[in-house]
Structure 1
Amino acid sequence: MARGLSREDKQGLTLIGLPFGYALVMLAAPLAMVVTFSFWTQNYLDIDRTLTIANYREVFGQPIYQTLLWRSLRISLIVTIVTVLLAFPIAYYLSFHVKRNKALWLFLITVPFWTSYLLRVFLWKVILGYNGVLNTALLQTGIIDEPLTFILYNANAVVLTLAHAWAPFAILPIFVALEKIDRSLLEAAEDLGDGPLRRFWRVTFPLAIPGVVAATLIVLIPTVGDFITPKLVGGTDGLMVANMIQIQFGKANNAPLGAALAVTSMVVVAVISIGIYLAGRKIGGKVSR
């Protein structure tokens, strides 16, 4: 087979060989290990390597796991919707209204990454706390008579914190998609009598769908597996499936069950992500036609 390859083909294989091997070792191998673990069972301090689906029976049979998985999906979907809705106007403004120093504006969007993710979560805990910045300000202005209790240690705090943390990841792909739009299409729509709103819904937004889909997937997939934010600001009502996975791998000493939970979450998220991608591609196909 090697004799039939041209010199360019051999050079190409050489170039991709190392990255492919790295990806295989660092990504595929751990994933295969987790999947294998999910079919084993924990026998006190030892692992019983007899293949079984008992862990998956427990995952789908115990209400607590179903509740945590559904809550994780619900919180992640809300975070994704909120983040994309807030990111789109910012990306639109940068693309269509900022004429100079766009690079500076994009640089400023990355400012939150200058600090640790953990530190940002702690700052939101300080802001939303019972005696935090928000409650103190509302009390001093007379808007409320007593501190608000529904803004911390629940799903609301998780949504707010995650939406802030992942906003830059949503802004950038939408901005790139908007930058690729041919402005002559908007001029043609204007010449045909379309107003600003009609041009937006018929030209701008459909052509920005690839960026919206990318932003949706970038935010949705990692937030389902986030365990730091729910642990710090979620309380008992904001815990997600990743927290249970962490417990199973840690205190509960049941790695196979934790692996089964991880694989189940991954499959569910993969199905949802494929559905979102196909829906966006379908919309994009209609626009191109």
Structure 2
Amino acid sequence: MTTRTIFAASGSRQGLLLTAPAVLVVSGIVAFAFASLVCYSIWTQTYLDMDHTPTTLNYQRFFREPMFLFLLGKSLLIALGASVITVLAAYPVAYYVSFKVQRRKLLWITILTLPFWMSYLLRVFSWKLILGYNGILNTGLGTLGLISAPVEALLHNSFAVVLTLTHSWAPFAVVPIFLSMERIDRSLLQAAADLGDTPLQAFRRVVWPLTLSGVFSAGILIFIPTVGDYVTPQLVGGTSGIMIGNLIFAMFTKLNNWPLGSAIALMSLLAIGLIVFAASRLLGVHKVEVK
């Protein structure tokens, strides 16, 4: 064993020791929250009375109620749409900063993530002001004479939810894609050019396969939290933009039915997990080896 290997192993152990307390605390909190959801989901509640007898009634009700399944499917589609649109918009931005910008890349990334420094609620409210009946967009179109009356379809629907989510979570897409591009050995592109590949062919054969893990990470970072988002649908979605997160929130806060809310939350987690697993298999991300 060389001296370099010994120092690397020592540094790795020190890193594990430094991060172990935080990892244990976070893992304990997550495990406790998950265990609480599981326990509540097999109990029943009648107003303030909680029956601790294990039962599957809450899960049976979830599959019997068409509204629950509809909202879950709708939420998955909205989150998937927001994830795809955000990644498609973020990829060329990350590509430009990584391959075209030669100096001060960190400054560029900082500028791109500036909107994320603003409060999430303020970002959502800003889109409500832009898309509203008397908002900036309708006012501008009316001033230009392009519309005779304000367009009501811009707000309080799934379109407004997807647009707001795309803007709000864009930094989560740019950063992981940019980092995956920065790890690419530029000599591979030079070799592809020497072998006769056009820039488009080099991108398809070299850049895209090597950044697929970053694309997948970006999509997952957006997809998972947006499925359960309830703030954005409540503010810009209206009645036609309600998602599964709004239903879970109502179960815990307004309807006082924690067991059913826990069952719905767990079924949502299961659906998300299955989709993420299927996507990783489909894209072949699980085969990528990190060295």
Taking structure 2 as the reference length, the TM-score comes to 0.91
> Would the aligned equivalents of 2:116 and 2:171 in 1 still touch at CA under 8 Å?
no
CA apart distance, 1:17? 5.0
The verdict on how the C-alpha distance between 1:230 and 1:95 changes in structure 2, with shifts beyond 3 A counting, is same
User: In the alignment, is residue 176 of structure 1 matched against residue 214 of structure 2?
Assistant: no
Choose which of 72, 76, 90 in structure 1 pairs with 2:75. Answer: 72
User: What do you get for the CA RMSD once the two structures are aligned?
Assistant: 2.3
- Residue deviations 1:167-188 (CA, integer Å, cap 9, x gap): 0000000000011111111111
Determine helix, strand or coil for the equivalent of 1:42.
Answer: strand
User: In the alignment, is residue 106 of structure 1 matched against residue 109 of structure 2?
Assistant: yes
Q: Hey, what does 1:166 align to over in structure 2?
A: 169
Q: Hey, what does 2:29 align to over in structure 1?
A: 26
Choose which of 35, 56, 61 in structure 2 pairs with 1:53. Answer: 56
User: In the alignment, is residue 240 of structure 1 matched against residue 243 of structure 2?
Assistant: yes
Q: Hey, what does 1:4 align to over in structure 2?
A: none
Determine helix, strand or coil for the equivalent of 1:37.
Answer: helix
Equivalent pairs counted in the alignment come to 281
CA apart distance, 1:278? 2.6
Q: Hey, what does 1:5 align to over in structure 2?
A: none
CA apart distance, 1:26? 1.3
User: In the alignment, is residue 115 of structure 1 matched against residue 115 of structure 2?
Assistant: no
Alignment of 1:59-208 (within 5 A): 59-208=62-211
Alignment of 1:273-284 (within 5 A): 273-281=276-284
> Would the aligned equivalents of 1:207 and 1:284 in 2 still touch at CA under 8 Å?
no
CA apart distance, 1:280? 3.1
Runs of 4 or more, structure 1, over 4 Å off, are 8-17, 282-285
Gaps of 5+ in 2: 1-10
Taking structure 1 as the reference length, the TM-score comes to 0.92
Instruction: State the alpha-carbon separation in 1 of the partners of residues 144 and 17 from structure 2.
Output: 67
The verdict on how the C-alpha distance between 1:42 and 1:111 changes in structure 2, with shifts beyond 3 A counting, is same
Gaps of 5+ in 1: 1-7
- Residue deviations 1:82-113 (CA, integer Å, cap 9, x gap): 00000001000000001111111111122112
The verdict on how the C-alpha distance between 1:97 and 1:10 changes in structure 2, with shifts beyond 3 A counting, is closer
Equivalent AA in structure 2 for residue 188 of structure 1: A
Instruction: State the alpha-carbon separation in 2 of the partners of residues 20 and 282 from structure 1.
Output: 25
> Would the aligned equivalents of 1:206 and 1:284 in 2 still touch at CA under 8 Å?
no
> Would the aligned equivalents of 1:210 and 1:284 in 2 still touch at CA under 8 Å?
no
CA apart distance, 1:23? 2.3
